[in-house]
């Protein structure tokens, strides 16, 4: 199942990667792959911006703006004029 | 608040606690691995209503089987449904379950909010003195906790090494057997028809209230006339109009989520509109009043119901496992103005129908 292409804020700085493989391990959508001892983005458009990779990259090689991909959360953020970070209202 | 609904009526231990395990830090409650019928009913109630908001357990260490200093520690959330899946998966094994305080929220959602996170995990490891309970220095965190748990940070603070286990609790025994190796399949989130069907009531129940309000409004619109309220148009016009709300509801909150991968388009608003149009056409074929009550009435049906279905389908982004915030933001940017326009045009068309009907043929 695929959502919109070309939208993710995910960025990988290959020069910083130490090849630990954590990003491959934690990504629930198989976005990363290891190649020649370094991580590379193999399937960028599968990214759902959960932030697991960035959070677990000890080398700070990954940047992504994590957030909840929920229309309800974004609409209520717009209505309440809060930051549009998409705080989920679900429990 | 925590555990209100799951404590036994006499205030004693809940029935899923079947004993206790002695440890250097005191007695730890031992839990059953099988689910009772009562728990199955509770799980059903979690799927359909706000009961899920109260289904929390006390955050602490629990024991499964007869765990000792060499047994593994599995971390989970304080949502009892999450905890129940973990304990059931551990049938026949000896292990510790460390429940973090996520205020009754499941692992993935709590990780997104940060309550299932580095801070809470490090705090609990220290607070219960885990290093005195087990002789090793490792804990197993569910992979979907990774958005909240920074493994290297927890290790730096507690000296406990984090192993990210499989996505699903049911794969934990295989993961342990293979020496902390998860297959790529265990690392992927699935979103098959069963997962989607389980989430349908979450969409349906809140939307039903809105549709009930819509139905009350259009029944009033149908009944009102130059001579006051009349009963007859309720049948000929009111019910067919109210039915359009049900069409939108079934389309956007049930059919679209279930048919998700088979509906054309990637944007949920487009998928919802497509299904909505198909169901509206089907409804019109079955209910002669849609095409037989004038152009404004028919136009209302085709503008309103697909757009309402599209809006409802958009809400399902919050339940899926693959929609990104950047994607949803982009989709909202172009779809919300269209939804607002459709709502305005719908009201105009309904008014036009009433004006034409009042004037008489």
Inter-chain contacts counted by CB atoms under 8 A, chains A and B: 139
Q: Which residues contact A80 (CB under 8 A, 6 or more apart)?
A: none
d(CA B321, CA A50): 10
CA distance B314 to chain A (A): 6
**The tokens of B327 are what?**
């994607």
Interface touch B318/A55, C-beta < 8 Å? no
d(CA B350, CA B105): 43
Residue of B nearest to A59 (CA): B152
B339: helix, coil or strand?
A: helix
B116: helix, coil or strand?
A: coil
- B-chain CB neighbours of A59 within 8 Å are none
**Cα within 13 Å of Cα(B279), Cβ side:** 28
A30: left (phi over 0), alpha (psi -120 to 50) or beta: left
Please check whether residue A14 is in contact with residue A70, taking contact to mean a CB–CB distance below 8 angstroms: no
CA distance B330 to chain A (A): 8
Among the residues of B19-158, which ranges form H helices?
37-48, 80-89, 107-113, 118-127, 130-133, 151-158
Interface touch B324/A3, C-beta < 8 Å? yes
Q: Which residues contact A10 (CB under 8 A, 6 or more apart)?
A: A31, A41, A44, A47, A49, A53, A62, A63, A64
Q: Cα dihedral sign for B143, B148, B150, B155?
A: negative
d(CA B2, CA B50): 15
pLDDT, tens only, B291-332? 999 999 999 999 999 999 999 999 999 999 999 999 999 999
Predicted TM-score of the model (pTM): 0.88
Interface touch B322/A3, C-beta < 8 Å? yes
pLDDT, tens only, B30-76? 999 999 999 999 999 999 888 998 999 999 999 999 999 999 999 99
Which ipTM score applies to this complex? 0.90
In chain B (361 residues long), the average pLDDT of successive 10-residue segments reads: 46 87 95 97 92 94 97 97 97 97 94 93 97 97 97 97 96 96 92 94 91 96 87 91 97 97 96 98 95 94 98 94 94 95 97 88 56
């Amino acid at each position: 199942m695929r959502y919109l292409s070309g939208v993710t804020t995910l960025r990988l700085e290959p020069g910083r990667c130490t090849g630990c493989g954590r990003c491959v391990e934690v990504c629930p959508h198989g976005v990363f792959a290891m190649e020649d001892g370094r991580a590379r983005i193999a399937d960028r458009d599968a990214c759902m911006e959960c932030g697991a990779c960035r959070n677990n990259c000890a080398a700070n090689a990954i940047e992504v703006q994590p957030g909840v991909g929920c229309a309800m959360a974004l609409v209520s953020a717009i209505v309440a004029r809060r930051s549009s970070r998409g705080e989920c209202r679900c429990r | 608040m925590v555990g209100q609904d799951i404590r036994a009526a006499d205030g004693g231990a809940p029935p899923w606690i079947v004993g206790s395990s002695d440890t250097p830090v005191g007695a730890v409650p031992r839990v059953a691995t099988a689910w009772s019928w009562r728990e199955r009913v509770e799980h059903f109630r979690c799927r359909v209503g706000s009961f899920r908001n109260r289904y929390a357990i006390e955050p602490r260490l629990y024991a499964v089987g007869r765990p000792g200093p060499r047994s593994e520690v599995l971390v989970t959330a304080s949502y009892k449904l999450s905890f129940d899946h973990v304990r059931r998966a551990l049938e026949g094994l000896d292990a510790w379950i460390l429940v973090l305080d996520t205020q009754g929220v499941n692992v993935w959602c709590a990780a997104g909010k940060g309550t299932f996170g580095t801070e809470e995990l490090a705090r609990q490891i220290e607070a219960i003195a885990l290093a005195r309970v087990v002789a090793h220095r490792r804990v197993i965190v569910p992979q979907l906790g990774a958005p909240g748990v920074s493994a290297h940070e927890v290790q730096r603070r507690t000296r406990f090494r984090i192993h990210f286990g499989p996505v699903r609790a049911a794969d934990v025994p295989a993961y342990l057997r293979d020496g902390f190796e998860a297959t790529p399949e265990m690392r992927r989130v699935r979103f098959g028809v069963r997962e989607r069907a389980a989430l349908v009531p979450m969409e349906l129940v809140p939307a039903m209230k809105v549709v009930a309000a819509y139905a009350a409004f259009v029944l009033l619109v149908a009944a009102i006339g130059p001579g006051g309220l009349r009963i007859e148009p309720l049948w000929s016009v009111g019910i067919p109009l109210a039915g359009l709300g049900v069409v939108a509801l079934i389309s956007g909150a049930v059919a679209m989520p279930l048919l998700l991968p088979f509906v054309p388009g990637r944007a949920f608003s487009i998928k919802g509109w497509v299904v909505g149009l198909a169901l509206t056409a089907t409804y019109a074929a079955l209910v002669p009043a849609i095409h037989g009550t004038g152009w404004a009435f028919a136009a209302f049906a085709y503008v309103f119901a697909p757009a309402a279905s599209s809006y409802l389908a958009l809400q399902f982004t919050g339940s899926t496992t693959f929609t990104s915030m950047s994607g949803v933001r982009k989709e909202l940017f172009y779809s919300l103005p269209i939804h607002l326009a459709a709502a305005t045009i719908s009201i105009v068309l309904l008014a036009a129908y009433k004006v034409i009907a009042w004037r008489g043929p």
